[in-house]
Structure 1
């Protein structure tokens, strides 16, 4: 009798612990990117990458802090606009998110990151302007290459491999475009390239006839754009219409099929761009990711889907390591993380930039960027 009662009591004693382990905690993950406007294609690409990561994590039955974790995305459209981005940041903070994956644009990230940092929320951004991590925010991490890597490597490739001697530069005056152009110019000039003109536009413009007519008279071998595909596509199309026989080069902002959709048959093998990370197709995980993305969304992964995917995975890894979903607890674990993602190795320096961020050079073929080499 004693033994039987003892067994029942022991069984009852473990029920609360078991129940606790099965208790589900919903953990909100904030997402900030442009989902409307000219850059909506990039924003939806980003959202797809994050969605794939969350769905995968939710099938793993993660138990953190004694509770089964279910991640839930709270997506907001920041319209690629700094003011909207700050409003989105406050909205996500008020909704109690435990992490932010995004923003996409440097111009949005710089002011919004202060809101997130003041609230103590970990932010994993792909935005590339060097000033972002120079702010010294404890909760802010860059999970992709910076402008110094993206613009600098394009300049090196232009000088060393393409033997370019003269370049005209156009930048869209966004924090991203300006930062990228500045880094390109700095490394280009250090490697013997002459910058024959500098022109400015904005990220809403679609007619570049006046700028390009001026550039035509300078006869550059290449035009470098610090900006995004909604400007890059029309610029190349209008270069063709004006008979400007020059290469078009840029960073990750133009490194997407959106260029082909907007530039038509002008987007050919005379367009080059850079993107952070190694060549996806060469890595087993990269090819699997690309195939899964295509299958799920019926479109190819573009520039940053993989970084938003990896960014979420890195955050989840830090939460597991710290056994907590609270940013003040898992944030320090993120600073020390060593994680092999789809796009590369994630390990942060003291500024929370990636210690290693290889850059891949792409050349367009039939309207889409095709990887040439990691540089």
Structure 2
């Protein structure tokens, strides 16, 4: 009898487990290659959200569910991103968080849209992503228009720069950011005195730096990632070009100091992160950062809290809709109002974050130092 009771108990537990619906959340970013630290950052943030939801015991439509993260590596490559996107669609994910870069997010978004799967990017800033007219495309960070405007204003008013040389890495992100910054700079009375480009895997910038140096700029604006900006700073130093550099969230990581070979000077670099909180809301962000370090043993790079909020916002829409079916919760997601660790999450008609904030940083002692939170 005792054995039968134990067997019945085991079968009962197994029955509950089998009845529990699995909600699959996809995530894709570059977790290998030169910007793997960014990709792993957003993957970790998404994983923290999944773990928090499962610990909470979420019910959707009155039934208990278990969230599962399906993480893929897109290598930061647009072609690989579309392959990964199709793989996740075929696996019947309920929602997608990613991709990491604009260059991977934009081509992948077509595949998610064709399948009717909601997609929230925690880091892609190119305006083109949400200008495609896809009702499945959302982002929880400000776009390049907002970033470029804020950086242009700060370059002229805060850094007193009038003559600026611009360089982009030919990615959708880099080109878009440089375009918006240049427009803002000129609106503020500044001028672009040199326009150069490289690519995101380049290592030799001597020819570019030599041409830029001849234009005698007050500032170099770089549209790209720290994996490229760091070596560029080192070579600027070697060629006797001691001017400041500005860029977006792609260079807004402590990794840039290491990648510059330690040649980056205090306050030489100013960057902007799409997002940011201030006042009482900072307590929630500080707690997230502390929890992240406890969980993974490393500091947040940039976008982990936005990936966390993307998953949480998606889950909240499912709960409100009473269903994890993409077609059922998508209309709810479009109108959601969620209070996240990164601040209020609500989307406009295109899927862009409403009232997106920008955080400006510089670097001191190789570490990011807050300058201001603005809009």
TM superposition score normalised by structure 1? 0.93
Are 1:215 and 2:212 an aligned pair?
A: yes
Preserved CA contact (<8 Å) 1:168 1:198: yes
What CA distance in whole angstroms lies between the structure 2 residues aligned with 1:317 and 1:85?
27
**Could you say what secondary structure the match of 1:373 adopts?**
strand
Given the alignment of the two structures, is residue 244 of structure 1 paired with residue 241 of structure 2, yes or no? yes
CA 232–280 in structure 1, closer or farther in 2 if over 3 Å, else same:
farther
Q: Output the aligned Cα RMSD.
A: 1.6
The answer for the alignment partner of 1:271 in structure 2 is 269
Residue aligning to 1:115: 111
Deviation at 1:299, TM superposition (A): 1.0
Contact residue 64 and residue 325 of structure 1 kept, 8 A: yes
Are 1:51 and 2:47 counterparts?
Answer: yes
Tell me by how many angstroms 1:26 deviates. Answer: 1.2
Query: How many matched pairs?
Result: 358
**Contact 2:278-2:373 within 8 A present in 1 as well:** no
How does 1:1-375 map onto structure 2 within 5 Å?
Answer: 23-125=19-121, 126-267=123-264, 268-279=266-277, 283-375=282-374
* Range with greater deviation from structure 2 (279-288 or 201-210): 279-288
- The alpha carbon displacement at 1:351 in A equals 0.5
Match of 1:7 in 2: none
Work out the CA distance in 2 between the residues paired with 1:79 and 1:169: 26
Q: Please tell me whether the aligned partners of residues 130 and 138 of structure 2 are also in contact (alpha carbons under 8 angstroms).
A: yes
| Gaps in structure 2 of 5+ consecutive residues | 1-11
Greater displacement, 63-72 / 326-335 = 63-72
Contact 2:230/2:257 (8 A) holds in 1: yes
Give the C-alpha shift of residue 266 in structure 1.
2.3
Report how far residue 65 of structure 1 moved: 2.1
Judge conservation of contact 2:226–2:252 (CA < 8 Å) in 1: yes
2:43 aligned counterpart, secondary structure: helix
Residues 277 and 343 in structure 2, CA contact (< 8 A), matched pair in contact too: no
Q: 1:22 to 1:356 in 2, by over 3 A?
A: farther
Cα distance per residue 1:35-81 (max 9 Å; x no partner): 11111111011111111111011111111123211111111110111
> Are the counterparts in 1 of residues 285 and 342 from structure 2 also a CA contact under 8 Å?
yes
User: Contact 1:168–1:223 (CA<8 Å) still a contact in 2?
Assistant: yes
Secondary structure of the corresponding residue to residue 27 of structure 1: strand
Shift of 1:218: 1.1
Give the Å deviation of 1:241. Answer: 1.3
Q: Indicate the SS of the match to 1:243.
A: coil
User: Is the Cα–Cα contact under 8 Å of residues 306 and 342 in structure 1 kept in the other structure?
Assistant: yes
User: Secondary structure of 2:193's partner?
Assistant: strand
Could you say which residue in structure 1 is the equivalent of 2:8? none
* Structure 2: distance between partners of 1:231 and 1:303: 17
Post-superposition offset of 1:188: 0.3
| Cα deviations by residue, 1:320-374 (Å, 9 ceiling, x for unpaired) | 1101101110010011111111111111111111111110100011222221101
